[in-house]
Structure 1
């Protein structure tokens, strides 16, 4: 259990960096480039996916699997499902419940972290699931 908590904390720290990257890209696209908010959200999210894969592979899960392409494909697939969860939560909170966009984005990101951690633990990096 201690190892699982340690991995979750590492994953969360990587996710925090990813969130900074995500929010920065989203903000630049939405506020400065005036792109549509959901497109901006998607671009921010996908940029963070790439950085998160690199850091999670090398630090959180310490993967030495030579099939890096397969791992990246699985990580991306898990992240795309996470994007759907994130976007649905963002839409529900912002559009339906009228929560301000960036507050809604924080909550949606928190929900997505739980999905991403356990899916990557079990499927991407093939570690034992709790």
Structure 2
């Protein structure tokens, strides 16, 4: 019986991870779209446009993950938002470092390095948000 409970919990965790990744993909589309809109359509500086895309995508991802992925009912939205945003920012730094290491130092092709960095950082982002931001017991 205990084994069945663990299996159900593991299935729930995998389902949350799937939803987190799906949300991340939506965030990627939002990030690229906003960056393109501000840079190419409005003529904003590319780095400012990129930062704007990141902030808007991370904000959208926070809301979707809070409501859909983690089904979180906490009223401490501001605290959770800043936790989520800090974790996302650390993830961005980790992504850049891993990309640099794999591509520049090890010599793996750029886009393969980027894909590997995304996978590794997604595990960080999911785990940190599960344990810190949404304080799930799953």
Interval of TM-score (by shorter of Structure 1 and Structure 2): 0.7 to 0.9
* Counterparts in 2 of 1:25 and 1:98: CA distance versus 1, 3 Å: farther
Shift of 1:90: 2.7
Extract unaligned runs of 5+ from structure 1. none
Shift of 1:107: 3.1
Aligned to 1:99: 109
Query: How many residues are paired up?
Result: 125
RMSD over aligned Cα atoms = 2.7
Tell which structure's C-alpha radius of gyration is larger. Answer: 2
Moved more, 108-117 or 56-65: 108-117
TM-score normalised by length of structure 2: 0.74
Is 2:97 aligned against 1:79?
no
Deviations 1:6-63 (A, max 9, x none): 1001111101111222333455677x45735xx6655443332111101000100111
Q: Distance in 1 between matches of 2:54 and 2:104?
A: 19
* Counterparts in 2 of 1:105 and 1:28: CA distance versus 1, 3 Å: farther
Is 2:44 aligned against 1:49?
no
TM-score normalised by length of structure 1: 0.77
Deviations 1:52-86 (A, max 9, x none): 10100010011111110000011111111111101
